[in-house]
Structure 1
Amino acid sequence: MDRKDENGSSLQSPLLQIISVQKDDTEAVTEQYKERVVELESVRRKYFFEEVKKQLWLAGPLTSASLLNFGIQIISVMFVGHLGELPLAGASMATSFTSVTGISVLLGMATALDTLCGQSYGAKQEQMLGIHMQRAMLSLMIVSIPLAIIWANTSSILIFLGQDPEISEEAGKFAQLMIPSLFAYGLLQCLNRFLQTQNIVFPLTFTSGAATLLHLMLCWILVFKSGLGSSGAAIANSISYCVNVLMLALYVKFSPSCAKTWTGFSKEALHNIPSFLRLAIPSAAMVCLEMWSFEMVVLLSGLLPNPKLETSVFSICLNTAETFWMISFGFSGAVSTRVSNELGAAHPSAARLAVHVVLVMALIEGTLVGTVMILIRNIWAYAYSNEIEVVEYVAKMLPILAVSHFLDGFQCVLSGAVRGCGWQEIGAIINLGSYYAVGIPSAIVLAFVLCIGGKGLWLGMICALVVQVVSLVIITLRTDWEQEAKKAIDRVNDSMTPESIVS
């Protein structure tokens, strides 16, 4: 007990009094610290969910637009499939050939605008978006000329590669009539990126939906009613893409939303084209290396025992994977836009948060879609074939596809962050090593040496995805976001000509 004086006051020593005061102060500081931690956690949650809303707002329309554009080619092949085996084989081969030799190249080059337009918009240099788009359009149209020459000689190239002459001739006719769609597709991708990087995404869904509905009607008329057959489907492709480009171009010209970013055609677009190509070429390599690897694996499936079954099942699996991949592609576009905008605005913390948020959403999406794949594995193949052998084989493949989609979702959104930062060269190197040093060799060993068959081919590609995801995660974790924001500002300033600075 404390000693007390004659008046009843405490005789506690000064040292004990000091300790008591310090204890009270410490408890008060601790309480303030706890309150501050709670407050900071509340702020973090607020910013996290705000970022979730922003990315979902972007990803939903982008996914819808991607699915609708992808549906144009699917619809064409479906209509041609009712004409017989030869037209179907020719259209399928032509679609695959044109995808490898043209579509993937233009798509890849256009993704350079994810960096250039996105960072310029974040830096409030709105007038540069129209100039970047014009540079991209000019570059892609020039590149389309040699690609069109390749398409014009499709049948000769396929025959030279040892394909069936009759199917090659049919594919050649189909590809030649699709040449106008090559130029339209390049313009469409530039317009899409121009609007996407401004967070204007709902018009993309509207115009894609309108073009797809038009394509359905055109295919019915040109394939069945006009007597053009498979040629009618190719012509419908070209018309649908051109109409989509026209609708978006009219929106850009007359919409108040683009008043600051589109100020008309400018001779400034003729300057700094090499700087665009320095980003566009690795962007194209990044996309093409990935897409070509899967096409190579499809060709390898034809070398397996029972090639008819293996090729059919692998084609179903690839089509399924591409369809579900569109969801991840929407999130990829969303995070690319968010990262590029925030880096251009010199907000490195917000860019880092955008990557963290999209990784969480990729985890959730991959788990949900993978679960759906596993649940529908016994019935999914009936959408493509009534052959019991095919249905049972696809049922065995879908759990593997579920794992593949889970990993593919992570690589897709991380690749979007790569585009937002402008790391396309790094992305191309990672894809080269992942798919061609690991993926395809692993697929060959598993399928042909260990005799696992089609499952071995897909497991080989999963090996590639693992390497790709791990590499991208390591790079992302080691990123100095403050330094990336400085690089973004430098890139925006370097892309500006004296005329644009004055204006």
Structure 2
Amino acid sequence: MEKLLILLGQDPLIAQEAGRYAIWLIPSLFAYAVLQSLVRFFLAQGLIFPMPLSSSLVLLLHIPLCWALVFHLGLGNIGAALSTGLCNWLNTIILLTYLKYSSTCEKTRVHFSTDVFLSIKKFFVLAIPSAVMVCLEWWSFELLILLSGLLPNSKLETSVLSICLTTTSLHYFIPYSVGAAASNRISNELGADNPRVARVVVWAAMVLAVTEAVIVSTILLCCRSVWGYVYSNDMEVVNYVKRLAPLLSLSLFADSLQAVLSGLHFQE
């Protein structure tokens, strides 16, 4: 990972820390995969309560745990990765326990069998396009990174990059929520043999995505001269944020469409 980041033009010291963080974050990926499946399972049944409850409990633990690992034990980035992994596993275990023992899941609870292997092909038919959608999201982030690499100094590069990525990341949750809601509504309607209603949901989600993207992009363009002041008082940083605002607006528009489309599944 470190060599790959250096090859892409990253600072060697940053590449070394990022590589260590990525390696220690690998155990968290397995928990995250199970967690996402559990979230879809609960959403498909309208069981919302266990998810915010579990997330709230994990958040209360994550804050002191992350502080202890990063600062008290001096693990730095490795501590941050470990705390993320431990909390993801804890969240997964809580939801699995709820699934196993709660009476609300009694009728939908199933046991593992070899039949799951018969559905692997269908799973990949949906998984591969979804993975491409996620790649498009991160590639849009990387485009900002490459362009920020053209800035005259590393300090300015880091500041402007942080502002752009923070803005994009915060905005992403809005279209992502629309896509998630549309995904579950479409799945329920198709399961109830209502393809026409599912088609209406698709169009409604796309209209919301385009409308939201136009509004946010327009606001950012109109406020490009002052947006940098939200994060920094450095005039040089503010001016470069102003220059990157049109590209950032385009990125936000693309992210809105991608986030909603990633939640829409079309079936013949």
For Structure 1 versus Structure 2, the TM-score category normalised by the shorter chain is 0.7 to 0.9
Distance (whole Å) between structure 1 residues aligned to residue 18 and residue 157 of structure 2: 22
Task: Map Cα deviations across residues 398-430 of structure 1 (whole Å, 9 max, x no partner).
Answer: 46645653554345334433x2x14xxxxxxxx
Give the alignment partner of residue 40 of structure 2, picking from 167, 171, 193: 193
Q: Is the 8 A contact 1:366 1:405 kept in 2?
A: yes
Alignment-mate amino acid for residue 86 of structure 2 = I
* Cα RMSD (Å): 3.0
The residue matched to 1:272 in structure 2 has which SS?
helix
Distance (whole Å) between structure 1 residues aligned to residue 125 and residue 202 of structure 2: 25
Distance (whole Å) between structure 2 residues aligned to residue 293 and residue 409 of structure 1: 12
Q: Is the 8 A contact 1:298 1:311 kept in 2?
A: no
Task: Map Cα deviations across residues 101-157 of structure 1 (whole Å, 9 max, x no partner).
Answer: xxxxxxxxxxxxxxxxxxxxxxxxxxxxxxxxxxxxxxxxxxxxxxxxxxxxx2344
Stretches of structure 1 that go unaligned for 5 or more consecutive residues are 1-153, 423-486, 488-503
2:102 corresponds to 1:255:
yes
C-alpha displacement of 1:165: 3.6
Cα distance change, pair 229–287 in 1 and its aligned pair in 2 (3 A): closer
Cα distance change, pair 382–293 in 1 and its aligned pair in 2 (3 A): closer
Distance (whole Å) between structure 2 residues aligned to residue 372 and residue 256 of structure 1: 47
Q: Is the 8 A contact 1:199 1:337 kept in 2?
A: no
C-alpha displacement of 1:339: 1.7
Report the counterpart of residue 100 of structure 1 in structure 2: none
Report the counterpart of residue 207 of structure 1 in structure 2: 54
The residue matched to 2:232 in structure 1 has which SS?
coil
C-alpha displacement of 1:180: 1.5
Once structures 1 and 2 are overlaid, which stretch shifts more, 288-297 or 232-241? Answer: 288-297
Structure with the bigger RCO (C-alpha within 8 Å, sep 6+) is 1
Q: Is the 8 A contact 2:137 2:255 kept in 1?
A: no
Distance (whole Å) between structure 2 residues aligned to residue 164 and residue 397 of structure 1: 22
Q: Is the 8 A contact 2:28 2:85 kept in 1?
A: yes
Distance (whole Å) between structure 1 residues aligned to residue 143 and residue 218 of structure 2: 28
Give the alignment partner of residue 175 of structure 1, picking from 16, 19, 22: 22
Q: Is the 8 A contact 1:358 1:413 kept in 2?
A: yes
Alignment-mate amino acid for residue 413 of structure 1 = V
Q: TM-score, normalised by structure 1?
A: 0.47
C-alpha displacement of 1:337: 1.5
Give the alignment partner of residue 313 of structure 1, picking from 151, 155, 160: 160
Equivalent residue runs for 1:259-338 within 5 Å? 259-306=106-153, 308-310=155-157, 312-338=159-185
Q: TM-score, normalised by structure 2?
A: 0.83
Distance (whole Å) between structure 2 residues aligned to residue 302 and residue 173 of structure 1: 22
Cα distance change, pair 163–253 in 1 and its aligned pair in 2 (3 A): same
C-alpha displacement of 1:208: 2.6
Give the alignment partner of residue 343 of structure 1, picking from 190, 196, 205: 190
2:256 corresponds to 1:409:
yes
Distance (whole Å) between structure 2 residues aligned to residue 181 and residue 169 of structure 1: 20
The residue matched to 1:265 in structure 2 has which SS?
coil
Task: Map Cα deviations across residues 208-249 of structure 1 (whole Å, 9 max, x no partner).
Answer: 333233221112222222232332222211111111111221
The residue matched to 1:416 in structure 2 has which SS?
coil
- Look at both structures and tell me which one has the larger radius of gyration over its CA atoms: 1
Stretches of structure 2 that go unaligned for 5 or more consecutive residues are none
Q: % of aligned pairs identical?
A: 48
2:233 corresponds to 1:386:
yes
